[in-house]
Amino acid sequence: MTDQLTAVVVDDEKLARQYMLEMLAAFPDIRVVAECADGFAAVKAVNEHRPQLLFLDIQMPRLDGFEVLELVETDNLCMVFVTAFDQYAVRAFDSHAVDYLLKPFSKERLGPPSKR
């Protein structure tokens, strides 16, 4: 299983993380290595695990999603923003996000970007 993609899921709401994990479970080639409830934990997890995929909420305690991206190495990182707001989309793509998911999202909607 060496060709599995590693992923970190960041969201301050437990239910939102739980939902993301459930959706990701449908993709056997993705392995979630860490889940984080705030920006600090996200920075730490990304630096530690060096995942290929990062599912990132925007409004969170301590550091928001954009601030997390400023603090981690993003070269080999595919970032997907997951938020209830649509007004951040332009900013999200400016920070080279591969996708921008609006909560609640479907499994089908999640599918394509994780294949990239």
Partner 1 sequence: MARNFHTSANIAYYLAWLPLTGLVDVLLILQGIGVVPALIVGFSFSLPMAVVGGSARYMCRVLPLRRDRLLQVLPPLGGVTFLISGTWTGLFVIISRALAWLPPGDLMDIAGFLFLVSALSIDFSLVFHYLMIAMEEAQEARQRAEEAKVLSREAELRALRAQLNPHFLFNSLNSVAALTATDPAAAREMVLRMSSFFRSTLAAGRQEVFTLGEELALLRNYLDIEQVRFGERLVVREEVDASLHSLKWPPLLLQPLVENAVKHGVSPSADPVTVDIRALRDGEAAVIRVCNGRDPEARSTGGTGIGLSSSRERLSRFFGDAATMTVEAEDRMFCVTIRIDMEKLK
**What is the binding site for partner 1 (CB under 8 A)?**
12-16, 18-19, 22, 37-38, 59, 61-62, 64, 84-86, 102-104
CB of 107 to partner 1, least distance (A): 11
Closer residue to partner 1 in complex, CB, 2/87 = 87
Closer residue to partner 1 in complex, CB, 44/62 = 62
Closer residue to partner 1 in complex, CB, 84/96 = 84
Question: Cα(68)–Cα(34) distance, rounded to whole angstroms?
Answer: 15
What strands, in cross-sheet order, belong to the sheet with 99-102?
A: 30-36, 5-10, 53-56, 78-83, 99-102
* Type and span of the H or E element at 8: strand 5-10
Give yes or no for a contact between 32 and 9, defined as CB atoms under 8 angstroms apart: yes
CB of 15 to partner 1, least distance (A): 4
